[in-house]
């Protein structure tokens, strides 16, 4: 199979037949809805508002029914951004919940019609389900081990009233988010069917990253580091280190889109987005963000997306621009924090170089406490979402471990960590295979190279934050599975066989068996 033969442009064949034209009954429903809203307006404003909401939900449901990829993209946007309160919904009736329920019903009907459970044969999805089962089991088991510990903790002031550390049981929320993100992964690999749809997913992701820029401001909440910029628009931007991580992912994505853009205007626009994001990483004064920025430059320089001369010019230009920002835009506090990378700062250093050294020493102490908890509970951990209040009870510190590898062992036990590492091994190997297959793709050229950068950044930032709880690993898995599926489909077609996506489930299984069946030896002449 050649790289350029991977399908593009037209949609991959569907198991179920798509909608060829706008159905006539939808026109009738539109007229009826308009008349109903007109009648509701005759009564009062409340009736009109309720009627409008119901009509909007019905039409949104129909849109998702006919275009499920739109529902997947909307859910992805809610995972990256915080919608205005008027659009979030009330109680359990939120955008994510309603869309998720609609897609679950649609997926159930699709499986009933086709009996095609191909996504459950993907090792990454199986491992995600295994990790979820282990974490939920350990969380429930630890309810027996730590039943009343939160009431033994000292009272603290929270929002004008006294409360206990860990009084709110967040285990249920963590479990719901864990399962819903696995469901999102299954939705994504089922309904993002063409490279052009995946391209629109990248545009959506770029927009969600750029949308935080107008809301940037100093971190005024803690009152300690007012020079460090952050944003309150989205969850990942409220935390400074996570904000720096996502901006690094954005820089790599903008550079990828600039390289793959076909017009000069598009290339210049994406290059400006990448250049404008670079100072934001440094203004966070995040040391992990600063090192991650260097890692992005190194990965771009060693990749094959650009000719050698262009890579040297880009690296030199980025380095000079970074130096100008470092010396002429950043303040003394920024530079002090970014250059203090010593994890073994002494008390004297802490006293003289407060910002960087104190934060580093605190992290080292918390990691030591987490290792003690792991040694005491190596198999079960302390349960999902329980590390903070267990550590507060044992050591008087309510800080997280700031390390995903340590976090997984501390809350889920060493088996959880091992499952995650096996998952990463499968994922890394899959992406490396895809890099050569999509090298000259006309719609997504070198896209697996950006996926590789995303994954390496994820591994790196896992040393400094518990990012395994977030959405990134689910995005990377979703992207890589759909790319592999398209490549397999084209490989089968190149051999004169039915593609992996077309036909009935039985026909697809027969094709795969035929592909790997040993050929009989030729008879001697």
Span 58-113, pLDDT tens digits = 666 667 777 888 889 988 988 888 765 555 555 566 777 778 888 898 899 888 88
Cα radius of gyration (the chain)? 26
Query: Tell me: the pLDDT tens digits for 234-286?
Result: 667 677 888 889 999 999 999 999 998 989 999 999 999 999 999 888 888 88
DSSP state of 230: E
- Residue 466 pLDDT class (50, 70, 90 cuts): confident
* Distance, CA of 235 to CA of 156 (rounded, Å): 24
Mean pLDDT for the stretch of residues 2-10: 42
d(CA 135, CA 362): 27
Report how far residue 457's alpha carbon sits from residue 281's, in angstroms, rounded to the nearest whole number. 14
- In 422-458, which positions are buried (b, 16+ CB within 10 angstroms) versus exposed (e)? ebbebbeebbeebbebbbebebbbbbbbbbbbbbbbb
Residue 64 CB partners (closer than 8 Å, separation 6+): 70, 71, 99, 102, 103, 106
Q: Check: CB of residue 372 under 8 Å from CB of residue 381.
A: no
Sequence-distant (≥ 6) Cβ neighbours of residue 480 within 8 angstroms: 124, 427, 430, 431, 434, 448, 451
CB atoms under 10 Å from CB of 225, counted, come to 19
- State how beta strands 155-158 and 93-94 pair: unpaired
How far is it, in rounded angstroms, from Cα 325 to Cα 74? 36
pLDDT at 525 exceeding the cut of 60:
no
Q: Report which of residues 483 and 230 the model is more confident about.
A: 483
One-character DSSP codes across 447-466: HHHHHHHHHHHHHHHTTTS-
CA–CA distance, 453 with 255 (Å, rounded to integer): 11
**Residue 185 pLDDT:** 95
Tell me the per-residue pLDDT of 344-398, one tens digit each, with 9 for 90 and over. 444 444 444 455 456 667 778 888 888 998 998 898 888 888 888 788 778 777 7
Average pLDDT, the chain: 78
How far is the C-alpha of 226 from the C-alpha of 220, rounded, in Å? 5
């Amino acid at each position: 199979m050649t790289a350029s033969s991977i399908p593009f442009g037209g949609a991959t064949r569907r198991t179920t037949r798509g909608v060829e034209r706008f159905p006539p009954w939808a026109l009738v429903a539109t007229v009826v809805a308009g008349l109903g809203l007109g009648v509701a307006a005759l009564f009062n404003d409340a009736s009109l508002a309720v009627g409008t909401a119901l009509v909007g939900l019905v039409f949104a449901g129909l849109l998702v029914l006919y275009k499920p990829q739109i529902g997947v993209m909307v859910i992805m946007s809610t995972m990256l951004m915080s919608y205005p309160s008027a659009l979030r919904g009330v109680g359990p009736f939120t955008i994510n919940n309603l869309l998720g329920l609609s897609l679950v019903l649609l997926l159930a009907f699709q499986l009933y019609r086709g009996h095609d459970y191909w996504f459950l044969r993907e090792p990454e999805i199986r491992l995600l389900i295994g990790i979820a089962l282990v974490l939920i089991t350990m969380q429930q088991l630890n309810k027996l081990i730590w039943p009343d510990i939160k009431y033994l903790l000292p009272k603290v002031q929270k929002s004008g009233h006294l409360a206990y550390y860990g009084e709110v049981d967040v285990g249920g929320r963590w479990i719901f988010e864990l399962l819903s993100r696995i469901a999102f992964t299954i939705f994504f690999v089922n309904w993002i069917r063409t490279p052009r749809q995946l391209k629109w997913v990248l545009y959506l992701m770029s927009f969600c990253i750029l949308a935080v820029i107008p809301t940037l401001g100093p971190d005024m909440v803690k009152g300690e580091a007012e020079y460090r910029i952050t944003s309150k628009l989205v969850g990942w931007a409220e935390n400074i280190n996570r904000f720096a991580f996502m901006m690094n992912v954005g820089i790599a994505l903008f550079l990828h889109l600039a390289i793959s853009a076909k017009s000069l205007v598009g290339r210049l626009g994406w290059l400006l987005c990448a250049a404008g994001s670079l100072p934001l990483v440094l203004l966070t004064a995040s040391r992990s963000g600063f090192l991650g920025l260097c890692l992005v430059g190194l990965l771009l320089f060693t990749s094959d997306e650009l000719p050698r001369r262009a890579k040297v010019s880009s690296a030199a230009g980025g380095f000079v621009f970074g130096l100008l920002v470092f010396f002429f835009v950043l303040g003394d506090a920024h530079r002090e924090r970014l250059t203090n990378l010593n994890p073994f700062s002494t008390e004297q250093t802490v006293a003289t170089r407060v910002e960087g050294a104190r934060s580093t020493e605190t992290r080292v102490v918390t990691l030591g406490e987490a290792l003690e908890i792991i040694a005491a509970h190596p198999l079960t951990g302390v349960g999902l979402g329980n590390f903070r209040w267990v550590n507060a009870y044992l050591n008087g510190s309510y800080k997280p471990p700031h390390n995903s590898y340590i976090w997984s062992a501390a809350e889920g036990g060493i088996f959880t960590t091992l499952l995650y590492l096996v998952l990463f091994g499968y994922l890394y190997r899959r992406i490396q295979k895809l890099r050569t297959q999509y090298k000259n793709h006309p719609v997504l050229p070198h896209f697996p190279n950006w996926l590789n950068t995303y994954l390496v950044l994820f591994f790196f930032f896992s040393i400094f934050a518990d990012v395994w709880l977030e959405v990134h690993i689910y995005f990377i898995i979703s992207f890589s599975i759909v790319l592999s599926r398209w490549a397999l489909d084209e490989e089968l077609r190149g051999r004169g066989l039915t593609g992996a996506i077309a036909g009935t489930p039985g026909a697809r299984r027969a094709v795969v068996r035929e592909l790997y069946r040993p050929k009989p030896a030729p008879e001697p002449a």
